[in-house]
Amino acid sequence: MSFYQRCREAWTGIWSLPAGEATVELTAPATTDGALGRAWLRDGIVDLASIAAFSRLSMQLMRHGAPPHLIEGCHRAALDEVRHAQHCFALARRHGTGTIEAGVFPALDGTRVPRISKADLAVDSFVEGGLWESFAATLHAAGARAAEEPELAALLAQISTAERAHVELAWDIVAWSLSSDTDSVAPKLRAAAAKLPLEPDIDMRHAPDSWLRHGRPGASAQRELFTKVRETARRRVEQILRSQGVPAERSA
């Protein structure tokens, strides 16, 4: 199980938005649908895990001598994720989860930054950023377009824009890894591109279409969007490979 998954599963706490940022807290309860609240809660937990994941990524990049703009990008992204987690938890509370106080993060106990090869670093950025964060950005953008409340639409658009920046950071890391160690990185990127998941990794089986007006695409829309995002990620990695002189794979 990856560090990222462990973080997602272990976290039990909730963070509130700082005082003074209540304008985006969307205070009036929109619904008492517990499932919708739990869906936002789960998103908030993913964002929390992302804070730790970006912190770890910055250290792994430093270990490989990455340029400062990539390190800087990681820290900016981690700060974005702090805010995303707070917003998602605000939305969860609004949909009936109640307030849960911040808890400890046991997944971090005794955690050390694992040694990771440049090829694995590239693959992680490709999959976590080029695929999953791109999917998150796409979902939030779709939610923003459909949300009935202007404040919610604006908030989701803002989160989507930040996620899109994280996606570009991930591609920058892929490109840098590849350019500095083409022979080891290229085959692993190709292998990862060949086995990208076919379905979203999130529990979206019960997401009804009626959630769209609350800023969350339903299950069937999510599947459709995921297929597009997956294809875009696959094409983009191939583009990067070719731009760095790696010949296209011959089909058998």
User: Residue numbers of the site for Fe ion (CB under 5 A)?
Assistant: 47, 81, 84, 133, 163, 166
- 63: which 2 tokens? 């270990």
CB burial of 174-195 (b: ≥16 within 10 Å; e: otherwise) equals bbbbbeebeeebbebbeebbee
Nearest approach in angstroms of CB 234 to Fe ion is 20
User: What's the rounded Cα separation, in Å, for the pair 46 and 171?
Assistant: 20
Nearest approach in angstroms of CB 55 to Fe ion is 13
Q: Taking the alpha carbons of 200, 47, 12, 60 in that order, is the dihedral positive or negative? A: positive
Asked if 139 and 191 touch (Cβ cutoff 8 Å), the reply is no
Nearest approach in angstroms of CB 220 to Fe ion is 23
Asked if 71 and 58 touch (Cβ cutoff 8 Å), the reply is yes
Half-sphere exposure of 77 (CA within 13 A, CB side): 28
CB nearer to Fe ion: pick between 124 and 133: 133
Nearest approach in angstroms of CB 162 to Fe ion is 7
Nearest approach in angstroms of CB 166 to Fe ion is 4
CB nearer to Fe ion: pick between 25 and 133: 133
CB nearer to Fe ion: pick between 140 and 214: 140
CB nearer to Fe ion: pick between 93 and 246: 93
CB nearer to Fe ion: pick between 2 and 243: 2
